[in-house]
Amino acid sequence: MATSLESISGCNTVWMIGNNQGGNCGDIEFGDYSYKLKLAKWSKLIQNVVNIDRGCCFKIYTIATPKNDLIFAGFIRESQNLLPYKLNSFYVIPDGVSLVCSQYFGYHHTEYYGAGYNGHKQLGINIDESEIPQITKIEGIENIHKVCIGASGWSIIWITNNGELYINGSSYDHQLATIAGDAIPVPTKFDFFKDKSLKCIDAAITSTFTMILCHDGSVWSCGSNRDFALGFENEQKTVTKYTKIEGLCGHKIKAVSVTENSAMFLEENGNLWSCGDNGVGQCGDDGQDKYSLPVKIKYFERNGIRVNKIDCGQQHVIVIDDECNIYCWGWNNKGQCGVDVGVDGDDKIDVPVLNELLSKKGVVDIRAGNQHSGCITKDGEYYVWGCNCENECCFENYDDENEGMRCLKRPKCVNEYVMECTKCEKIVDMTLSYCNTMFLVC
């Protein structure tokens, strides 16, 4: 008998709200938009979803016995190690559910599925269609540690457990260091860093350029250098092969993130650097319109603040420090910075601003969508704010008394709304994309 969506709504299911053009949320029956939180077909076709990522790429993580009998599929946070570790003859899933796996130390396997817009071959699915509304398995990849997808990115970078790269999608501006205009339809191995004895640990992508972070703390960039986003002093129009950012030499970088035309680099000691366009304050410094070389954001150094995590939207930035305080800056025209600075006026925020309301609650993780934002507190509360034009902030027709502009200037907790809609016991993850939001619940 066929499984109904309602009958599985309590076990690691995915719910979505917002833009679904091209099937971005994996269920074309929703039409172009979903104005109320709805159970997505991901949950019916791929039960026990373990992670959700912007760009609609889902991971299924399983541990199997040598006989290939499935014995576990559980939730794993993106920030955690994807490999199970052996502990007294058991497999334990970090930050998820642990399971006794008997004495058979089988093998691990990660499956990836995609759906939605594929006009630039960014889904890695070898189907010659610009839209793939049906949930489809992505072939040819294994032992993946991390998948890097930009909020509006047309490319995907896959990083394996041993630091090798696979790439697919658009390279229109040489952002994948391949021939301009070429679209790579399926994940393809890229040996540039392996040939230099470098292991890749992270990447950040826009529609025109990419950043690669290697194990030695070095950062390499490639693609369009419009507004100096690549971190090079000479505004060369296009960089056709990955080039080390010399301005960061001597600084051990541990994380990278990018807006549409600027970049952020987080150092191991908590210092934060930026470069590129600063027209709406996205570099976190009110000194210049553009920064051709990486500059340290003075606000954090001056106040003795150690940044712990970073994430970027289209033109705004969110960070948390090592005391669970949250700061935002950049473009705030839709309230995406979460502070009441006004909308559709002089709405740029040039320097980091502390969100006192959320910081009092202790923020442990952050999410940046295109023009909306979210965070998770230490007590498991999920907050969203920013653009709500397509109900991506989960509150139908909510405009925050902004003269009809559909935005949420101040963060709101969505736990009660999500749990009421889904009849779930708790939220275990949330992802923000272009104009939609998805929740993983159990």
Q: Residue 163: count other Cβ atoms within 10 Å of its Cβ.
A: 15
What is the model's pLDDT at position 23?
Answer: 56
Residue 189 lies inside a defined structural domain of this protein: no
Distance CA 380, CA 235 (A): 44
Helix (H, G, I), strand (E, B) or coil at 14: strand
Residue 129, pLDDT > 90, answer: no
What is the model's pLDDT at position 62?
Answer: 35
Mean pLDDT lowest among 140-154, 177-191, 238-252: 140-154
Beta partners for 441?
13, 427
Q: Residue 413: count other Cβ atoms within 10 Å of its Cβ.
A: 13
Residue 145 lies inside a defined structural domain of this protein: no
Would you say 392 and 25 are in contact if contact means Cβ atoms under 8 Å apart? no
Total structural domains within the chain: 1
Beta partners for 276?
262, 291
Residue 12 lies inside a defined structural domain of this protein: yes
pLDDT: which is higher, 324 or 85: 324
Torsion of CA 21, 23, 25, 28, to 10 degrees: 110
Distance CA 222, CA 242 (A): 5
Residue 115, pLDDT > 80, answer: no
Residue 171, pLDDT > 90, answer: no
Out of 78-82, 171-175, 281-285, the most confident range is 281-285
Torsion of CA 397, 403, 408, 409, to 10 degrees: -170
pLDDT band at 220 (very low <50, low <70, confident <90, very high): very high
Residue 53 lies inside a defined structural domain of this protein: yes
Say which amino acid occupies 161: N
CA 340 to chain CA centroid, Å, is: 25
What is the model's pLDDT at position 78?
Answer: 31
What is the model's pLDDT at position 72?
Answer: 28
What is the model's pLDDT at position 93?
Answer: 29
Mean pLDDT computed over every residue of the chain = 76
Residue 315 lies inside a defined structural domain of this protein: no
pLDDT band at 406 (very low <50, low <70, confident <90, very high): confident
pTM of the model: 0.81
Which structural domain, as residue segments, surrounds residue 38?
Answer: 1-139
Distance CA 31, CA 10 (A): 24
Would you say 422 and 15 are in contact if contact means Cβ atoms under 8 Å apart? yes
What is the model's pLDDT at position 140?
Answer: 83
pLDDT band at 296 (very low <50, low <70, confident <90, very high): very high
Distance CA 349, CA 316 (A): 9
- Per-residue pLDDT, averaged over 64-86, amounts to 28
Tally the residues of the chain.
Answer: 442
Residue 116 lies inside a defined structural domain of this protein: yes
Helix (H, G, I), strand (E, B) or coil at 359: helix
Mean pLDDT lowest among 93-97, 129-133, 414-418: 93-97
The DSSP annotation for 208-250 comes to: SEEEEEETTS-EEEEEE-GGGTTS-SS--SEEEEEEE-GGGTT
Q: Largest Cα–Cα distance of the chain, in whole Å?
A: 65
Portion of the chain with pLDDT greater than 90, in percent: 39
Distance CA 242, CA 200 (A): 13
CA 83 to chain CA centroid, Å, is: 20
What is the model's pLDDT at position 437?
Answer: 82
Residue 82 lies inside a defined structural domain of this protein: yes
pLDDT: which is higher, 199 or 48: 199
Residue 325 lies inside a defined structural domain of this protein: no
Per DSSP, 49 falls in state -
Distance CA 353, CA 424 (A): 35
Which stretches of 32-165 are DSSP H helices? Answer: 42-45
Q: 70: burial class by Cβ within 10 Å (0-12, 13-18, 19+)?
A: exposed
pLDDT band at 252 (very low <50, low <70, confident <90, very high): very high
Which tokens belong to 281?
């304050």
